[in-house]
Structure 1
Amino acid sequence: MFTLKTLKSNIKITHFVAILSVLNFLFFHFPFFKFVFNNLDYQSFSGITIIISLIILMLVLNAFMFYLFFSISSYFGKFLLTLFFIINSISVYFVNTYGVILDESMIGNVLNTKFEESSSFVSVKLFVYLIFFGIVPSIFIIKAKIIAVPWKNFLKTISLTLLFLLTIIFANASNWLWIDKNSKTLGGLAMPWSYSVNISLFYAHQYQKNQKEIILPNATIKDNQKSVVVLVIGESARSQNFSLYGYDKNTNPLLSKIPNVVHLNATSCATYTTAGVKGIVSHSDSGDLYEILPNYLFRNNVEVVWRTNNWGEPPVHIKDFQDRAFLAPNCEGEGCNYDELLLTGLKEQIQSSKKNKVLIVLHASTSHGPTYSKKYPPQFETFKPVCNSVELGKCSQKELINAYDNTIVYTDYILSKIITDLKELKDYKSSMIFVSDHGESLGEKNLYMHGLPLSIAPKEQYEIPFIVWTSEGSKKVKSVKSVTQYHVFHSVLNFLNIESPIYDENKNLFQ
């Protein structure tokens, strides 16, 4: 155990990295071992072996890596370890508070989060984590006087440590299957490698994805009938809280009374915004960077407008990309502070189009946490009391769900307003499609919000609403049991009567 006296005296590099490895283990790995204990038989011989081996590996491997950093340069080592402890403290706060796993998809979610959203997570508890687990250890790291070792001793230490690590790894050959099966989760909870490795993977894969998009075959507009589709991309909406889907609270008082509104059982292709939105505007789940729906239709002479009060969109290459800054000056009323901003002059913009085929995309943010109670105007606070804390675990389940349900009531209102506007466009055959990017956890299994790997995510994070309305005299919706986000692309082509070689009738919703 180190004391203030330790800060003033010289300390051997091997002792120093051992202390840091122990601190890193104690401060930041409770979630890691909680997962381990919950997912193996810790009373069996193999379970005990895995646990002991993971503890030894974590302590020794981290000490080994820290030793390498400080051997390169004392200043480099101090900078890197200070950074690690500060980021670790913030990371473990989110892991403990919201049950997230820092895999590559969650890192992408974090890196695509704007300040406006990230600031809503700030709490007293976050600062406590930062001070005690980040800043205090950092003072020890910065002030410590480290004794370097001769080159000969360095090589000896490195060689023996590597030999020891390899021995432990191969001694656990019989347990490799369990470790491999759970590697994604284990890797997402091991600090600091969860975020440092996955940040590198994220940018490497982003570089690959951001290569020039693959152009789809040209499309043909088959008639001159005026047609418009308003595609509303919801945020963090889960179907089980929509009364249209059988929820016992009336969260859809308006949509439930509108004729021609059809709700379909649907699942998302991911549990985070960037991948979910991309899935909604993609023609397939190939994983390649094909031309997305708005870009494709714009290139093929369709009027396309993308309005956003959110972020995380794939690259949109159209003339009319309208964000909050663009829309706000022409918006009036309290609703301008919320997603009603997206409806500003919507009907007028459609009517002013010089083209017969129109696609409007509205990217909303209504149900994104943790501040659900701030996502809707006060008059939509139908269910009370509500959770007002960013630390969702501090709220009762009832308060949390009430706040979330109010966002669904507000979504219901926005969708009904869109339908009302479209009904007034008598010259157009109109459709409104609402589909969410992903779902949301609200404390079930002690999980909050979204972003877990799809392979282990609970249904709350991927069962989403898919709601379709069509105007009188236009195409009707087929009777289908379930759909995915990839149905959007082909259904829009069909409704606008656009012929394309990549059109898939099996993914079309309209008769």
Structure 2
Amino acid sequence: MFLQKLVSKDKIKLIHFVLVISGLNFLLFHFPFFSFVFNNLDYKSFTGISIVISLVVLMLVLNAFVFYLIYSASTLVGKCLTVLFFLVNSVAVYFVNSYNVIIDESMVGNVLNTNYAESSSFFSFKLILYIVFFGILPSIFVIKAAIVKDRLKKFLIKSSLTLVFIAVFIFANASNWLWIDKYSKQLGGLAMPWSYTVNLCRFYIHKAQENKEEILLPNATITNNEKSVVVLVIGESARSENFSLYGYKKNTNPYLSKTENLHTFKATSCATYTTAGVKCILEHTESDELYEILPNYLYRNNVDVIWRTTNWGEPPVHIKNYQTKEMLDKDCKGDGCNYDEVLITNLKQQILASTKSKILIVLHTSTSHGPTYSKKYPANFETFKPVCNSVELGNCSQTELVNAYDNTIVYTDYILHRIIEDLQQLKDYKSAMLFVSDHGESLGEKNLYMHGLPMSIAPNEQFDIPFIVWTSKDSKQLKPINTASQHHVFHSVLNFLDIKSPVYNEQLSIFK
């Protein structure tokens, strides 16, 4: 009886229609979404029940609100988009259920790069059933529905009330967002139709950024043939406050505190999130423009440049030797390969294999990124106990949370020590190691966690960062500067490698 009414010619109010559409979208296409939720959540606990209810309510209300706005603008456009969504959803859910895929940006890229022969191999009778029952049948209701739209006054009232409800609901469930943030990639890849819609946009945005022509800097000149190497380590969420090198009461730097020729500078980041922080580290001056970044610039000017990463968020890197964790894993041995130690796999050997006199190696780490700090280091580096093992940081004591974070700093200390050990063995090279973090981190101070607040209101914990420098004996001397910035990196590297450039700024170099 209900289905007969749905496909009848009876008129239906827009608000009722979008609620039905949202409900159908929820019921037909989100079994994989909630399977993932229940498999990664203690759904019998109060917190688990709260998160499930939050996800259900928000999914129903937000989808209905988006459809309401679209249909209010144009019924024809709304129907076309809804039919398209149902058809694509049915195919997407088929692949999710059949192959356990996540519709993230990389998967969208795979789909767009699949040729006919590959795509036709996935054709099956089961796929047709999905398209018919999950795509075509709901679309019949959409096409046949005679929708009565609201007048402007009612539209404004309903829209305003819905926005207020969404804002209040999100604020009331703020404690659940850390769990959602942890699994945001997986949840986003299973939420239909926004998984492929958003990631399709992201794919083309990033594609455009990759193809965007950099503003090239003036050519540089290598002034001598002396063998020199700089290892630039980009830290993730490392705040200087928790380094014993900066006066922290706990010994989080057992190796570096005993290392000769080690120097520290007070420093601040120019942002509180990774993409902007890394951009500042690599650019010659602060700008919204896409100027040629340090690795690209040096590579173009005949320096051997190697980029190794377990992270993401850097500007487009245009070099030959770009190495991901998966690539480094092939030659890595031991438990450390599951952590950032993978970045120093055969590091010394790669330097010695270089045929050029000037070398820059960039290691982009992820060691101190929350919320699961206790998962960022091997078990033997759990120096401070007890630790917070929950993604819900507010449920941990301050001691547990700080202990877990401090252990990531202890592990960072060890990795930097290993790098310095490798460089010390390169007797024929003038060597330097620079460690600079992309931004800091909040650990419950003022009831704030992690990072990302606008700089205008961000606390010091989110932008006070370590700037640690080691140099080999008889190499460049450092200036007695009090405070450094992320922009000091670009000019300091040029100075150390004896590279002359019109953009070089002596005031932004830490070396004499």
- So what's the TM-score if we normalise by structure 2? 0.67
What CA distance in whole angstroms lies between the structure 2 residues aligned with 1:418 and 1:366? 15
The alignment status of 1:13 with 2:13, answered yes or no, reads yes
Query: For residues 203 and 449 of structure 1, do their structure 2 counterparts lie closer, same or farther at Cα, with a shift above 3 Å needed?
Result: farther
The alignment status of 1:356 with 2:372, answered yes or no, reads no
Deviation at 1:61, TM superposition (A): 10
- Identify the residue that residue 404 of structure 1 maps to in structure 2: 405
What CA distance in whole angstroms lies between the structure 2 residues aligned with 1:253 and 1:20? 61
- 1:162-311 to 2 correspondences below 5 Å: 207=208, 210-311=211-312
Structure 2 counterpart SS, 1:330: coil
Amino acid in the other structure paired with 1:306: W
What CA distance in whole angstroms lies between the structure 1 residues aligned with 2:211 and 2:445? 36
Amino acid in the other structure paired with 1:12: I
Query: For residues 258 and 278 of structure 1, do their structure 2 counterparts lie closer, same or farther at Cα, with a shift above 3 Å needed?
Result: same
Structure 1 counterpart SS, 2:330: helix
What CA distance in whole angstroms lies between the structure 1 residues aligned with 2:7 and 2:387? 51
Query: For residues 79 and 373 of structure 1, do their structure 2 counterparts lie closer, same or farther at Cα, with a shift above 3 Å needed?
Result: farther
Map Cα deviations across residues 162-190 of structure 1 (whole Å, 9 max, x no partner): 7889999xxxxxxxxxxxxxxxxxxxxxx
Unaligned runs of 5+ in 2: 24-63, 89-103, 109-137, 162-193
What CA distance in whole angstroms lies between the structure 1 residues aligned with 2:327 and 2:302? 24
Deviation at 1:448, TM superposition (A): 2.3
What CA distance in whole angstroms lies between the structure 1 residues aligned with 2:67 and 2:79? 17
Amino acid in the other structure paired with 1:475: K
Deviation at 1:272, TM superposition (A): 2.2
What CA distance in whole angstroms lies between the structure 1 residues aligned with 2:391 and 2:466? 25
Q: Does the 8 Å contact 1:230/1:431 carry over to 2?
A: yes
Q: Does the 8 Å contact 1:71/1:148 carry over to 2?
A: no
Query: For residues 414 and 14 of structure 1, do their structure 2 counterparts lie closer, same or farther at Cα, with a shift above 3 Å needed?
Result: same
- 1:40-55 to 2 correspondences below 5 Å: none
- Identify the residue that residue 471 of structure 1 maps to in structure 2: 472
Map Cα deviations across residues 165-219 of structure 1 (whole Å, 9 max, x no partner): 9999xxxxxxxxxxxxxxxxxxxxxxxxx99999979966984685111211111
Deviation at 1:494, TM superposition (A): 0.3
What CA distance in whole angstroms lies between the structure 2 residues aligned with 1:197 and 1:333? 38
What CA distance in whole angstroms lies between the structure 2 residues aligned with 1:348 and 1:197? 42
Deviation at 1:252, TM superposition (A): 0.9
- Identify the residue that residue 491 of structure 2 maps to in structure 1: 490
Q: Which moved more, 1:436-445 or 1:197-206?
A: 197-206
Deviation at 1:484, TM superposition (A): 1.6
- Identify the residue that residue 502 of structure 2 maps to in structure 1: 501
Deviation at 1:276, TM superposition (A): 1.8
Query: For residues 326 and 455 of structure 1, do their structure 2 counterparts lie closer, same or farther at Cα, with a shift above 3 Å needed?
Result: same
What CA distance in whole angstroms lies between the structure 2 residues aligned with 1:200 and 1:333? 39
Map Cα deviations across residues 139-172 of structure 1 (whole Å, 9 max, x no partner): xxx899899567xx74xx455457889999xxxx
CA RMSD of the aligned region, Å? 4.3
Deviation at 1:343, TM superposition (A): 1.3
Query: For residues 425 and 166 of structure 1, do their structure 2 counterparts lie closer, same or farther at Cα, with a shift above 3 Å needed?
Result: closer
Q: Does the 8 Å contact 1:69/1:77 carry over to 2?
A: no
Q: Does the 8 Å contact 2:105/2:199 carry over to 1?
A: no
What CA distance in whole angstroms lies between the structure 1 residues aligned with 2:396 and 2:357? 50
Deviation at 1:221, TM superposition (A): 0.9
Structure 2 counterpart SS, 1:358: strand
Q: Which moved more, 1:349-358 or 1:399-408?
A: 349-358
The alignment status of 1:340 with 2:341, answered yes or no, reads yes
- Identify the residue that residue 447 of structure 1 maps to in structure 2: 448
- Identify the residue that residue 415 of structure 2 maps to in structure 1: 414
What CA distance in whole angstroms lies between the structure 2 residues aligned with 1:455 and 1:317? 33
- 1:130-149 to 2 correspondences below 5 Å: none
Deviation at 1:459, TM superposition (A): 2.4
Amino acid in the other structure paired with 1:484: S
Amino acid in the other structure paired with 1:266: A
Query: For residues 60 and 358 of structure 1, do their structure 2 counterparts lie closer, same or farther at Cα, with a shift above 3 Å needed?
Result: closer
Q: Does the 8 Å contact 2:387/2:400 carry over to 1?
A: yes
Structure 2 counterpart SS, 1:359: strand
What CA distance in whole angstroms lies between the structure 1 residues aligned with 2:349 and 2:245? 30
Amino acid in the other structure paired with 1:354: T
What CA distance in whole angstroms lies between the structure 2 residues aligned with 1:424 and 1:367? 28
What CA distance in whole angstroms lies between the structure 2 residues aligned with 1:455 and 1:212? 31
Map Cα deviations across residues 9-34 of structure 1 (whole Å, 9 max, x no partner): 9883244279799x9xxxxxxxxxxx
Q: Does the 8 Å contact 1:17/1:67 carry over to 2?
A: no
- Identify the residue that residue 56 of structure 2 maps to in structure 1: none
Structure 1 counterpart SS, 2:406: helix
Aligned pair count reads 400
- Identify the residue that residue 324 of structure 1 maps to in structure 2: 325
Q: Does the 8 Å contact 2:105/2:203 carry over to 1?
A: no
Q: Does the 8 Å contact 2:272/2:440 carry over to 1?
A: yes
Identical columns (%): 59
Map Cα deviations across residues 289-319 of structure 1 (whole Å, 9 max, x no partner): 1111111111111111111122223222222
Q: Does the 8 Å contact 2:386/2:400 carry over to 1?
A: yes
What CA distance in whole angstroms lies between the structure 1 residues aligned with 2:461 and 2:6? 49
Query: For residues 406 and 145 of structure 1, do their structure 2 counterparts lie closer, same or farther at Cα, with a shift above 3 Å needed?
Result: same
Q: Which moved more, 1:305-314 or 1:483-492?
A: 305-314
Unaligned runs of 5+ in 1: 24-58, 84-109, 115-141, 169-193
